[in-house]
Amino acid sequence: MNDGGVSQNLETVGLKAWAQAFLIRAFEQRLLKLFSEGKLFGTVHTCIGQEFTGIAVAHHLLPRDLIVSNHRCHGHYLARTGDVGGLMAEVMGRTTGICGGRGGSQHICAGGVFSNGVQGGMMPVAAGMALAQKLTQANDITVAFIGDGTLGEGLVYETMNLASLWQLPLLIVVECNGVAQSTPQSQTLAGDVAKRAEAFAIAAYHGDTSSPAQLTDVMGVAVRDVRENSRPALVRVDTYRLMAHSKGDDDRPLEEVRRYWSRDPLNNFELEHPDEALRLREHSEEVVSKAVEDALSAPFASAGCEQRLKSNAPTWRRTTFSGKERVVTRIHDALRENMASDDRAFLLGEDIEGPYGGAFKVTKNLSLEFPGRVRNTPISEATIVGLANGLALNGMRPVCEIMFGDFLTLAADQIINHASKFRWMYNEQVTVPLVIRTPMGGKRGYGATHSQSLEKHFLGLPGTRVLAVHHRYDPHALYQSLFATIDCPTLVIENKTLYGEYLQEQSLGGFWCEHTEEAFPTTRIRAHARPDITIVCYGACLVDAEKALDRLFDEHEVVAEIICPTQIYPLRIEPIVDSGRISGRMLVVEEGQLFCGFGAEVVAAVHEACAGTALVTRRLGAAAHPLPCCKSAEIESLPGVDSIMKASLEMLSDG
């Protein structure tokens, strides 16, 4: 621990470091000025007073090391890259910025530095990047910067747990500035910071930004530890945030803030070496001013263009299968082939290793065949997906399994605020080829939290894809297409009851199966007759829809047509519209809740495309309450053959 009077020695710290510190401070101070002039959007989180943390770490990093930071990332970025122009343009929202103006102050990606604005969210991502580095065996490391406030997020502990278990080369730097936004540490932190690391068998180090030389030494030791021993470490850095959390919200007492100004190394450097300080300050101002000038003359970022699906006429081919196998086997085989043909493939999830082979046996024996690349994780859904995010960002092809679709909610932030956003917000500099597999669905009596169909909550995230497996299109082919073309985070909805279904070519007399010719096709079950009604569904609902189709014809002389897409987001509406225009009646069936669900989207899109045509639509979904555990009551609460038939007949008899 240092007291306030240590002399700031030019030689011990090095002029380069002081120059960096002055530059960072000049940059941050200019941002505050620009903000008060109305030239910045949103807000700025300045690191004034904390500059040396980033500088001390960057001093020891090698070219392939990575940095993951948070909302207060400017100092880390500038210390690592020195790119004042790019960062200024980015903060000012210009196309010349490091993310084309899309990311702004909190969401940056350049020069091996990544940041995002959700506290703790980047921790497992950093761990994933470290895992990818470990697998290359090149002794690179990843540094994750968090604050003492971040220690409130559970994800931090999940990550430390996993990083320690898997011995990941991850350096966690905790900038303890004693406050989280406006809340003092006394209200946010129980216990001791270092002891948290020790609880996970992670080595803990300590430094202070008011002694930059000592801090740099400590960082050196920590970085070497992580690099040479390939294991995680944590450095607690005591520091102080001299300005507000974000522009304009500082209620700390003035004497407290003033006291820390007196301990500030830059302030003291100025007192001891005024000429040098002046020179450094003037030089910094020049660089920053030039950056501002350049930025002001560059154009603003424009809104990105939406990805539009090609809307041409679908062509149909008959679906054929060879052999008679179950859905689960086909999925297993696809995963296995992918592991065999792609070294970057990596499977992670709970209980997926052999001999258990996964809760539904999808990954049976894969860990035995591909040791080290099929890994059991602790029960940490958010970290599973977060780790996969990091792996995907760092060149790997992760496939994670979330044991029950109901638990996807635990990973929601990693899907919604991280996976789906990286590519666009970082201006297309990265792709996230991430696959999340999970079984949804009920009718097994597992109860309210193990039987749901929650996929609708993950539909419609721009930059993602959602697939649904069914038994009339070979899941092996579906996964093969996915692995061959993957370019965005993809959620694959499997279904518990579907795992046991057999693939069959024809079991519907008089009707046959076709699919569109594309990577993730739409399946159509039809006959050589004009349909009286179109039934739209996906996934396991196809099983009941088929049975209804059969009985509707046999018992009621009604010819139905089923349209069943495998890609439910983004949704190709043409095959659905095509059928609806001919039949004039459309029933959309889903196992999830109706409000703002898949059916609602289909009906809206179809009516927009068919304006002027007579089309009657209706939706069928789960009863509007949690699913009961009693199996018979559960089945009653979900759509089935009887409810599909009843709804169809009602649509045919009245309106």
Shortest gap between Cβ of 558 and another protein (angstroms)? 9
Is 359 or 616 the residue whose CB approaches another protein more closely? 616
Which of 190, 305, 557, 632 binds another protein (CB under 8 A)? It is 557
Is 290 or 530 the residue whose CB approaches another protein more closely? 530
Contact call for residue 580 and another protein (CB under 8 A):
yes
Contact call for residue 298 and another protein (CB under 8 A):
no
Site residue total, another protein (CB under 8 A): 39
Task: Return the bridge partners of 93, or none.
Answer: none
Shortest gap between Cβ of 393 and another protein (angstroms)? 37
Is 271 or 529 the residue whose CB approaches another protein more closely? 529
CB 20 within 8 A of CB 59: no
- How far is it, in rounded angstroms, from Cα 235 to Cα 617? 60
From the list 49-57, 179-187, 441-449, 579-587, the region that binds another protein by CB under 8 A is 579-587
Contact call for residue 641 and another protein (CB under 8 A):
no
From the list 87-95, 325-333, 556-564, 628-636, the region that binds another protein by CB under 8 A is 556-564
Which of 5, 253, 372, 612 binds another protein (CB under 8 A)? It is 612
Contact call for residue 310 and another protein (CB under 8 A):
no
Contact call for residue 616 and another protein (CB under 8 A):
yes
Q: What is the 3-state secondary structure (H, E, C) of 396-447?
A: CEEEEECCCHHHHHHHHHHHHHHHHHHHHHCCCCCCCCCEEEEEECCCCCCC
- How far is it, in rounded angstroms, from Cα 319 to Cα 390? 37
Written as six digits, the tokens of 598 are 């898949």
CB 190 within 8 A of CB 258: no
Written as six digits, the tokens of 490 are 């993809």
Is 259 or 530 the residue whose CB approaches another protein more closely? 530
Please report the DSSP string for 209-274 in residue order.
Answer: TTSHHHHHHHHHHHHHHHHHHT--EEEEEE----S-SSTT---S-HHHHHHHHHH-HHHHHHHH-H
Shortest gap between Cβ of 569 and another protein (angstroms)? 23
Strand order in the sheet with 233-238: 109-110, 113-115, 66-69, 142-147, 170-176, 233-238, 203-208
Phi, psi of 68 (to 5 degrees): -120, 130
* Of the candidates 605, 634, 602, 636, the residue with the CA atom closest to the CA atom of residue 618: 602
Q: Return the exposure string of 222-240: e unless at least 16 CB atoms fall within 10 Å of the residue's CB, then b.
A: bbebbbeebbbbbbbbbbb
* Of the candidates 606, 590, 609, the residue with the CA atom closest to the CA atom of residue 598: 590
Shortest gap between Cβ of 615 and another protein (angstroms)? 8
Which of 7, 186, 312, 322 binds another protein (CB under 8 A)? It is 312
Contact call for residue 654 and another protein (CB under 8 A):
yes
Is 582 or 596 the residue whose CB approaches another protein more closely? 582
CB 629 within 8 A of CB 447: yes
Is 137 or 315 the residue whose CB approaches another protein more closely? 315
Q: How many CB atoms lie within 10 A of CB 300?
A: 10
The one-letter amino acid at 194 = A
- How far is it, in rounded angstroms, from Cα 463 to Cα 469? 20
Shortest gap between Cβ of 573 and another protein (angstroms)? 12
Site for another protein in 581-610 (CB under 8 A): 581-585
From the list 108-116, 277-285, 492-500, 646-654, the region that binds another protein by CB under 8 A is 646-654
- How far is it, in rounded angstroms, from Cα 363 to Cα 360? 8
- How far is it, in rounded angstroms, from Cα 386 to Cα 394? 13
Shortest gap between Cβ of 155 and another protein (angstroms)? 47
Annotated catalytic residues are 381, 450
Shortest gap between Cβ of 468 and another protein (angstroms)? 24
Which of 262, 530, 596, 630 binds another protein (CB under 8 A)? It is 530
Site for another protein in 70-129 (CB under 8 A): none
Which of 10, 19, 359, 652 binds another protein (CB under 8 A)? It is 652
* Of the candidates 203, 186, 183, 187, the residue with the CA atom closest to the CA atom of residue 195: 203
Contact call for residue 553 and another protein (CB under 8 A):
yes
Shortest gap between Cβ of 528 and another protein (angstroms)? 5
Is 186 or 312 the residue whose CB approaches another protein more closely? 312
Q: In 3-state terms, what secondary structure has residue 588?
A: strand
Is 266 or 586 the residue whose CB approaches another protein more closely? 586
Contact call for residue 450 and another protein (CB under 8 A):
no
Contact call for residue 513 and another protein (CB under 8 A):
no
**Which residues are near another protein by CB under 8 A?**
312-316, 506, 509-511, 527-530, 532, 553-557, 559, 574, 577-585, 612-614, 616, 651-655
